[in-house]
Chains A and B, each alone.
Chain A
Amino acid sequence: MKRKKGIQRVVLYVSLTLLTFIFLFPLIWMLVSSLKDEFQIFRDMKSLKAFLPPAPSEVEGGYFANYIAAFQRVDLMKYILNSLIYTTGIIVFGLIVNSMAGYALARFRFPLAGFWLGVIIATLIIPPESIFLPLYVLVYDLGWVNTYTGLIVPFIANAFAIFLFRQFFLDFPKELEEAAKIDGCSQIGIFFRIIVPLSKPVFATVAIVLFINHWNDFLWPLVVASDESMRTIQIGLQYFMNEPPIKWGQVMAALTIATVPMLLIFAFLQRYYVQGLTHTGSKN
């Protein structure tokens, strides 16, 4: 019996190690290759050295030669900045607008409230992919093509975020608000002064969900930010990948750079993200 258990454990760890390799080898290869020169990448690929960082003696231009070259060839900084402006814009305005809507739907009684909630939830079913053409025409009519406004404004209101906020505010104790009302503060004051500061978890969750979704956005920035100076990092990468001369090391460096912000978010705030999604998932 004990022996069987022992074998089982060995099998378990061997398969886990194998799986780990399957899930990690592309990442390791990307990281390691970004540090090597072109010649070495191809030479090492013929053996398991493909997954080992270059020895100091093998790097001629320094470990970060590819990174420096990639930054010199295309304006990666500008692309990342564009992505940050784009995502931050959506997050800042999105948090305000959606939390207010969620609050309204959770707290106030007014005509058609149920109807609007139904409408908002129904819009969740509309695939954004099916409206991007008319949305593009609209944004063009507004003169917003190749502007941050055009990138941001259409995605401020977010039915999913409204829904999350509403769920959260439904469970929020009413007593605090009552007290503030007696103090003579307006509803708006109550909301921004009392509710918002006490709702940090839900704001964090929504902010992260928005960040991850829009940092990874592809289709909308592709059509709206056609100008080189407006490209987000995802679009910039796509162009960089095809821009001759294609240098594998530089592409790997650019991919690594583009991953860093997401890595930071996940490293520090992962639990909010998973919480947010499982929360809605398990509730139904």
Chain B
Amino acid sequence: MKKLSLLLAGVLVVLMLAACSSDSNANSEGESGSSGENTTSDTVETGSVETSVEATGDEEVMLDFWIHQTGEDETNAYIELIDAFNKEHEDIHVNAEVIIDDGASAYSDSINAALVAGNLPDVMAVDGPYVSSFAEAGVIQPIDEYIDEETKSQYVDSIIQQGTYNDQLYSLGAMEASVMLYYNKDLLDEAGIEPADSIEEAWTWDELMENSKKMTTEDRYGLNLFMNYGVGEWLTFMGAPLAWSNGGALISEDGTTVDGYLNSPETIEALNYVKELFAEGVVTDSPGEMQFEEGNAALALGGPWIAVSAEDAGLNWGMMPYPYKDEKVSPSGSMAYAVTNNTENPEAAVELMKWMTNEEATIKISKATGMPPAQKSAFETMEKFNELPWSVMKEQVIQTAHARPSTPAYPVLTDAFAQSFHAAALGEDVESVVEQQVQRVERELKRFEE
């Protein structure tokens, strides 16, 4: 293939030079042409985002590292951690590239593109449920041999769970995530409703429905499900626990089929519950950006970042555990780090992963993002998690966290669930929509049969 580009370049050069020797026109054309080419290659070599931490070039091992970020504080925390790592390790140097996530698909687009292009970094951030997809494809590699049991046991269980595929550990994360039922204290007081302060007191589906209805008024919704995030991972992350809590599932335990799981009566009942919430008018499919923070919704099933924005908005807020039907479960899983098969230095790469997810790092990142830390000890060190409202989040992460399914067909599966959830929200016939989606996922699963 290189030959081809050489040939092309050759043809162009010949074309430039072949004109009349004394010809000013041809020459100027030629010059502008070749200088254009020079700038091209120059910029490509040095091209890099500003937020990168550049290498000095003396070290033996160079690691390319892709980080995912959602805010500036987060980026700064990462950069400080990486600078410290570079200082600490004389023989390793990390070049980090921070990729901004727009909440839609920016980060996964970058990874997808790099995958096809084969220019993955040594270490990259991967969203939890995608670990198996990448592991199955041989994009990332198991790290068991570089990590001992004791280190492993320091992480909260759900982090190890999401990082494991076929009994091998592939990823380690610095932060967990969860979905809390946020509430507006003033509105709850006004309606005379008692919040749940611990897992034991968690609301049932019926309580959620009833209380949401109670607090819905002419110009205010009872509940916000952040449908404005779009039809994507959020709906699976936030919505799948409804199915699990009802004894349903998205996919069989061995990961070979969704027929009888995604379309099981339990899963469909959960989606019909969602449909009812919308039909009752307690929640809208197009909430404003800051609906909860501005007091236009009394309750909200939102991620840890809502605590930050509610606080910023000066709202009098609190948080409750995720509501349940039969079993108490809650969303879990977040960005984690994995070592790609592109790397020549897996050992150094794992060293970096450990550094980025040790207690100190998890605390730093938790402070910057509001996300719960991934190290058990960090929960003890960080005092806020031992008192309300954050203690609820800690309980939830440690006790009821449920990882999303581990299957190489996850990209299709999550879209199938998200589409079904959205259809339920818009009042469509849940069963027929789910049936269609089952077909789609089954086709994808076939690809991974032996």
Residues of A within 8 A of B (CB): 75, 85, 88-89, 92-93, 96, 100, 136-137, 140-149, 152-153, 185-186, 188-189, 191-193, 196-197, 223, 226-230, 239, 242-246
Contact = CB atoms under 8 A, between A and B. Distances in A.
A244 B70 contact: yes
B102 A242 contact: yes
Given A230-B47, A246-B289, A193 B20 contact: yes
B116 A192 contact: no
Contacts of A93: 12, 33, 36
Nearest to B110: A226
A92 B32 CA distance: 8
B102 A88 contact: no
Contact of A242 (B47, B97, B104): B104
B20 A186 contact: yes
B29 A96 contact: yes
Contacts, number: 114
B191 interface: no
A100 B15 contact: yes
Given A88-B36, A89-B36, A136-B116, A228 B103 contact: no
B232 to A, nearest CB: 11
Interface stretch (B1-9, B170-178, B211-219, B433-441): B1-9
Interface stretch (B38-46, B73-81, B152-160): B38-46
A146 B403 CA distance: 34
A193 B25 contact: yes
Contacts of B39: 85
B107 to A, nearest CB: 11
Contacts of B47: 146, 227, 229-230
A143 B12 CA distance: 19
19 contacts: A75-B50, A89-B40, A92-B32, A96-B15, A96-B33, A145-B116, A147-B44, A148-B44, A149-B40, A149-B41, A153-B8, A188-B20, A223-B113, A226-B110, A227-B47, A228-B99, A228-B100, A229-B47, A246-B289
B193 interface: no
Given A226-B109, A228-B110, 13 more contacts: A89-B40, A92-B36, A142-B2, A146-B44, A149-B44, A185-B20, A186-B19, A189-B26, A191-B19, A192-B25, A192-B29, A242-B106, A244-B70
Contact of B1 (A143, A193, A196, A244): A143
Name which of B1, B20, B32, B106 has the most chain A CB atoms within 10 A of its CB: B20
Contacts of A197: 25
B111 to A, nearest CB: 9
Contacts of A149: 5, 40-41, 44
A242 to B, nearest CB: 4
- Secondary structure at chain A's binding surface: helix, strand, loop or mixed? helix
- Secondary structure at chain B's binding surface: helix, strand, loop or mixed? helix
Interface string B91-118: 0000001011011101001101110111
Contacts of B33: 92-93, 96
A188 B19 CA distance: 5
B23 interface: yes
A241 to B, nearest CB: 8
Contacts of B289: 245-246
B146 to A, nearest CB: 29
A137 B20 contact: no
A283 to B, nearest CB: 28
Contacts of B36: 88-89, 92-93
A153 B5 CA distance: 10
B256 interface: no
Nearest to A197: B25
B252 interface: no
Contacts of B40: 85, 89, 147-149, 152
Name which of B23, B29, B36 has the most chain A CB atoms within 10 A of its CB: B23
B388 interface: no
Name which of A227, A230, A245 has the most chain B CB atoms within 10 A of its CB: A227
B48 interface: yes
Interface string B389-408: 00000000000000000000
Nearest to B106: A239
Given A147-B44, A228-B99, A141 B1 contact: yes
B23 A243 contact: no
Nearest to B27: A192
A228 B49 contact: yes
A192 B33 CA distance: 14
B30 to A, nearest CB: 9
Contact of B113 (A137, A145, A189, A243): A145
